[in-house]
Structure 1
Amino acid sequence: MNPQNFSLEKLARLVQGECVGQHDLQLAGLASLEHAAPQHLAFVNAEKYIDSAEQSKAGALIVTAALKEQIKSKQNFIVVANPYLAFAILTHVFEKKHTKTGIESTAQIDASAIISDSAYIGHYAVIGEHCVVGDETVIQSHCKIDDGVEIGKQCLIDSHVVLTGQCKLGDRVRIHANTVVGGEGFGFAPYQGKWHRIAQLGSVRIGNDVRIGSNCSIDRGALDDTILEDGVILDNLVQIAHNVKVGANTAMAAKCGIAGSTTIGKNCIFAGAVGVVGHINIADNVTVTGMSMVTKSISEAGSYSSGTPMLESLHWKRAAVRFKQLADVPLTQLMKKLDHMQSQVESLESTFKLRK
């Protein structure tokens, strides 16, 4: 944690909140309600956490005005409209900052590369010909920045990241350990029982404020570029194939896989392990729930799901048997049985009416 303390009043100003209680109370960090100490600030985001807030030892709480009125045992608050957003903003205040600049002695940098004086290049990093590294960008140890790669300002490139294929990164991009951006896309032409490799001639373009987790692969395009627009966030273990375009502020959780030449709109949310086939289009503001398989284009905003939800094992086995039996019956035969049953019901209804 950052050893610096901040007053409750100053923290309230940073999130444009109202300071209630001891304005000069010194706080040393953020913590959960359960584990907070008197020097910590915690947040309360819903009524279901009020009991935990009452019992918490936190020195101050981030709350809404309505929640504040329900918490009687506390006196120190930051009152805001959105406590979770305020918490997110204040995490940056207490985050440990990287302050070193310069180039470590073991780094290997081509003479043609342009490196900002305010950037940091870690041990054993390798930077190729005609690369550009912007102001205040941090490149950690053992990274490989291949020829022609451009990195914007205030980026973080974590250890063992590979940037290749002449990819271009915007400002404030964060790429975590062991990720590869600009690697060769999976392109092969089948002919006479063999796969013939297609050279990948495109690149990768990444916008501003993009976050890419660890162990991800963002493949360069075959001809056109693979594109991640501003504000895209990817969890760990995400695969983006060649020529994919991901719209601004779209988020993907771990183990999502997007096949080649698919276009995904803005402000989409893909939960964990979603798979998307290639050469389709997905509209803006689409949510896809976990482990779904998207096999065709989605033209309207909304939430989409596929797959089988969890059941007790015995129930699932019974359902699987019935599903297989259903699949084995031709649809026309089912329709005939339903028509026959409907006729019998109508006949019985007529008989009852006549008897009355």
Structure 2
Amino acid sequence: MKSISFFSKKNLSLREIFLNSKINKNFIVNDVKPLDTAKNKDLTFFDSIKYKSMAAKTAAGACITTKSFEKFIPAKVEKIIVKNVLLELAHVLKKIYSNADIDYPDFTLKKAIKKKYKTVKFGNNVLVGKNVKIGNNTVIGSNTIIEKNVIIGKNCIIGSGNIIKNTLLGDRVVTQDNCKIGQKGFGFIPIKGKNIKFPHIGKVIIGNDVEIASGCTIDRGSVDDTLIGKNTYLDNQVHIAHNVKIGDNCMIAGQVGFAGSSTVGSNVSIGGQAGISGHLKIGNNVKIGGGSGVVKDIEDNQIVMGYPAVKFRDFLKKNKKINNE
């Protein structure tokens, strides 16, 4: 899908952003990106040893990090040394993207103009923002709001009472009633009795043939994007937090919750009310039992269950032992 940003950006140089830091290689910052996708005019950040291998390969022009982590970053990358990487990153994002820390109302919303979208069917009281693109033969249910710059593909069915913002939808996507997609995630930094809001400059990208059942909430990415792969189905009341990436052909049952920045492979099945902790990697062809709590990475082709989730065979052994006591 086409790369697009939903937030206005200020063109600032490194020296304008980091007024109190010594900058050797000054340049206008093109964007703020994760370690693995940043280019030579982008700013990135490195705050966890878990991402050491990404840091070593980053092509970013500059990186916010700590004194103890700077040794892992390539010599050509300008290093901005701070004590609290995420706090500094929040301040930087606020400078560059001043309106991404709060979801302000979209005052461009107007009643859908049917002449503009000749092949689209609208229910009652649909509001559409500026520069919205909707593909042919798509159906939009009553009382749905589609905010500015959203792109919806062909032959989609958008249920009633949906709110969609900061999102790109593929073709033949179904969202049932009362879904909210593209809102700011649960991102803030508690410090000295105050919560510092963390701007979310990413978006939600939903692939072709995805189905999202009623009452699901999908947060946009913070610095990265939130992704749902093609032909993935979500049951009712699934929550997907910022930066989560879900692969193709996944089946996710009701009330499953994903914490931020976890990655799920393709052909994964997750039972109802399971919880996936943040910053985890779940492989391909994995099955996770209902009610499980996943707190560590899962390799390909595994079946797990329980809290904490363990291999299914170990889960059965443990419960058999408990039942025999």
1:300 Cα deviation from its structure 2 partner: 2.7
**Alpha-carbon distance in 2 for matches of 1:242, 1:114:** 36
Describe the SS at the equivalent of 2:300. Answer: coil
Partner in structure 2 of residue 109 of structure 1: 112
* Alignment of 1:235 onto 2:235: yes
Partner in structure 2 of residue 19 of structure 1: none
**Alpha-carbon distance in 1 for matches of 2:137, 2:117:** 7
1:200 Cα deviation from its structure 2 partner: 1.0
Cα distance, 1:307–1:295 mapped onto 2, change above 3 Å: closer
1:194 Cα deviation from its structure 2 partner: 2.0
**Alpha-carbon distance in 2 for matches of 1:115, 1:291:** 46
Read off the aligned partner of 2:293 and give its amino acid letter. Answer: M
Q: Structure 1 length as normaliser, TM-score?
A: 0.55
1:135 Cα deviation from its structure 2 partner: 0.5
1:224 Cα deviation from its structure 2 partner: 1.2
Partner in structure 1 of residue 130 of structure 2: 129
Partner in structure 1 of residue 119 of structure 2: 118
Partner in structure 2 of residue 141 of structure 1: 142
**Alpha-carbon distance in 1 for matches of 2:115, 2:281:** 38
* Alignment of 1:206 onto 2:202: no
Contact map agreement 1:114 1:131 (CA 8 A) in 2: no
Contact map agreement 2:112 2:122 (CA 8 A) in 1: no
- How many residue pairs were aligned? 205
1:115 Cα deviation from its structure 2 partner: 4.6
**Alpha-carbon distance in 1 for matches of 2:292, 2:116:** 43
Describe the SS at the equivalent of 2:218. Answer: strand
Gapped regions of structure 1 (runs ≥ 5): 1-106, 310-315, 323-356
**Alpha-carbon distance in 2 for matches of 1:191, 1:223:** 21
Read off the aligned partner of 1:274 and give its amino acid letter. Answer: A
Partner in structure 2 of residue 156 of structure 1: 157
* Alignment of 1:218 onto 2:221: no
**Alpha-carbon distance in 1 for matches of 2:260, 2:302:** 23
Cα distance, 1:115–1:283 mapped onto 2, change above 3 Å: farther
Contact map agreement 2:202 2:223 (CA 8 A) in 1: yes
1:195 Cα deviation from its structure 2 partner: 1.5
**Alpha-carbon distance in 1 for matches of 2:230, 2:162:** 20
1:301 Cα deviation from its structure 2 partner: 1.2
Q: Deviations over 1:243-272 (max 9, x none)?
A: 000000111000000000000000000010
1:118 Cα deviation from its structure 2 partner: 1.4
Cα distance, 1:288–1:147 mapped onto 2, change above 3 Å: same
1:114 Cα deviation from its structure 2 partner: 9.3
**Structure index of larger Rg:** 1
Is 189-198 or 233-242 further displaced after alignment?
189-198
1:173 Cα deviation from its structure 2 partner: 0.2
Partner in structure 1 of residue 34 of structure 2: none
**Structure possessing the higher relative contact order (Cα contacts under 8 Å, 6 or more residues apart):** 2
Identity across aligned pairs (percent)?
Answer: 38
Partner in structure 2 of residue 284 of structure 1: 284
Question: Which residues in structure 2 correspond to 1:204-353 (within 5 Å)?
Answer: 204-307=204-307
Contact map agreement 2:111 2:128 (CA 8 A) in 1: yes
1:158 Cα deviation from its structure 2 partner: 0.5
Cα distance, 1:148–1:188 mapped onto 2, change above 3 Å: same
Superposed CA RMSD: 2.2
1:178 Cα deviation from its structure 2 partner: 0.6
Describe the SS at the equivalent of 2:230. Answer: coil
Partner in structure 2 of residue 342 of structure 1: none
Which portions of structure 1, spanning 4 or more consecutive aligned residues, are displaced by more than 4 angstroms? none
Read off the aligned partner of 2:137 and give its amino acid letter. Answer: E
Cα distance, 1:196–1:172 mapped onto 2, change above 3 Å: same
1:122 Cα deviation from its structure 2 partner: 1.4
Gapped regions of structure 2 (runs ≥ 5): 1-109, 313-318
Contact map agreement 1:109 1:126 (CA 8 A) in 2: yes
Cα distance, 1:303–1:164 mapped onto 2, change above 3 Å: same
**Alpha-carbon distance in 2 for matches of 1:157, 1:278:** 29
**Alpha-carbon distance in 2 for matches of 1:234, 1:223:** 24
